[in-house]
Structure 1
Amino acid sequence: MDAIVKSFPGKDQDEKDARPSQSEVEAAVRTLLLWVGDDPDREGLVDTPKRVAKAYKDLFGGYDEDPEDVLGRTFEEVAGYDDMVLVRDIPFFSHCEHHMVPIIGKAHVAYLPDGKVLGLSKIARVIDIYARRLQTQESMTAQVSKAIDETLRPLGVAVMIEAEHMCMAMRGIRKQGSTTLTTTFTGQFKTDPHQQARFMTMLRSHNGH
């Protein structure tokens, strides 16, 4: 317990220094393997702690990235274009912060430009950054919207996320195939029912409904 406490000192210390070492992470995985009833020293599991540590570094790499850095560059030469920009069906996977099991889904993001536009890949990058953190779907939806709204300053942002939560499919009630839908609207998407309806219509027409 003392080692764990010492690994997480006050907020003034650099975040990277506050993280457990590689050996501490591997020891924690060994403890989990023992706890579930397996033998971490058997052939198939000997290197599992090292593999899990490496996998987690990738799966949760979003903590080391700043969405503002990704969204920092915008383009003002848009030839007068001022209508909705919609990027839909952005696939992602994340992990539930309650059980640390996967969330698998897709995101749809739209914004109304106010003289500036983003490179289309930037929106997908922002989704990826927030997805590669421990999440709730509600929080992720709001975070993506806020990042785009505060950086680009558009006339409005609309975000919809559809996802299946493995905490429902693999444990608990074990209902496979159920989908959770969350939305966030800012600016004209929130105040103008016509813009919100256009966003929803464009998604429904794309999905064949």
Structure 2
Amino acid sequence: MSTPKKAIQKMPVKKIVSKLPIKKSAVHSRDAAKEEGGLPLSVVIRRRIEAQKARFHANDNISAFIKPGELEGLVDEVAEKMQAVLESLVIDTDNDHNTQNTSRRVAKMYVQEVFNGRYVDQPTLTKFPNVSRLNELMIIGPITVRSACSHHLCPIMGRIWIGVLPSKASALIGLSKYSRLTEWVMCRPQIQEEAVVELADMLEKKIKPVGVAVVMDADHFCMQWRGVKDRDSKMINSVMRGAFLKDSNLRREFLALIDRK
């Protein structure tokens, strides 16, 4: 039997959200949380992380502490809290057809898309032996990237170029894997300066090249959409490691080649 509309309008936010359809996997996640003292799922996950004395900053990956099915539970919890945000912004989500399901759409966007790099495992990177003993400069890019500023959760939209100078003993990875790894790192709230350093660290660890370089060029909507509202400002920063840092000729060649793209 459906609840009369007038009755729903008088309900508190939590009761309204509780009437939204919930997937079975989310129900299992909520049941798991209840077994641990009836705590919200986010608190249960947080306690697991704290028990291991691990960090869970905005740009950290916490997939090791999330059990199967719990991401749907997180979507439910975020949707409930986002509904409360909309209510506090004095938005009539009961009668405004454009915002009736906004809380769930935003929750799914954060957990399953724009911040997904926090909650899922690192993509598998199949490595190949350097049979041909390649040791020449390789450039990958531009790779389109989408991230979010951890200060205001505003979009960061830009491009990344990766330079790799392999050694004869380096591992090689497929071209698409650079894009997948980059997306995994970028799909988190963060600042650009730290993101490119993390990406460079991971590439060094995975490939073990003679040198690696990462350049990122991005628009920051926290400047364009709010604050000074400067439409033309961008941030460009680079990380140079190994041969790219020591050899100025190699560095110039890399920067000159990406400037043509």
- Structure 1 length-normalised TM: 0.87
Aligned equivalent of 2:134, options 69, 72, 81: 81
Structure 2 residue 98 is the aligned partner of structure 1 residue 44: yes
Give deviations 1:136-160, integer Å, cap 9, x for gaps.
1001100110000011100000000
Higher relative contact order (CA 8 A, sep 6+): 1
Contact 2:197 2:239 in 1 (8 A): yes
The equivalent residue for 2:87 is 34
Cα distance, 1:183 vs structure 2: 0.3
Unaligned runs of 5+ in 2: 1-38, 53-63
- Post-superposition Cα deviations, 1:35-70, rounded to whole Å, max 9, x if no partner, equal 223112222222111111111122211123444x53
Q: Identity over aligned residues, as a percent?
A: 26
Cα pair distance change 1:126/1:22, threshold 3 Å: closer
SS at match of 1:182: strand
Residue 230 (structure 2) pairs with residue 175 (structure 1): yes
Residue 110 of structure 1: SS of its match in structure 2? strand
Counterpart of 1:55 in structure 2 is 109
CA distance in 1, matches of 2:176, 2:106: 29
Task: Tell me which residue corresponds to 1:202.
Answer: 257
The verdict on how the C-alpha distance between 1:66 and 1:155 changes in structure 2, with shifts beyond 3 A counting, is farther
1:161 corresponds to which residue?
Answer: 216
**Unmatched 5+ stretches in structure 1:** none
Asked if residue 101 in structure 1 is aligned to residue 154 in structure 2, the reply is yes
Measured on the aligned residues, the alpha-carbon RMSD in Å equals: 2.3
Alpha-carbon deviation of 1:134?
Answer: 0.9
Does 1:92 find its partner at 2:130?
A: no
* CA distance 1:78–1:110, change in 2 (3 Å): farther
SS at match of 1:174: coil
Whether the 8 Å CA contact 2:66–2:119 is kept in 1: the answer is: no
Secondary structure of the residue aligned to 1:164 is: strand
**Which TM-score applies when normalising by structure 2?**
0.71
User: 1:4–1:124: structure 2 CA closer, same or farther, 3 Å change rule?
Assistant: closer
Compute the displacement of 1:203 (Å): 1.3
The answer to whether the 8 Å contact 2:115/2:189 transfers is: yes
Q: Tell me the secondary structure at the aligned position of residue 176 of structure 1.
A: coil
* Secondary structure of 1:44 counterpart: coil
Secondary structure of the 1:94 match is strand
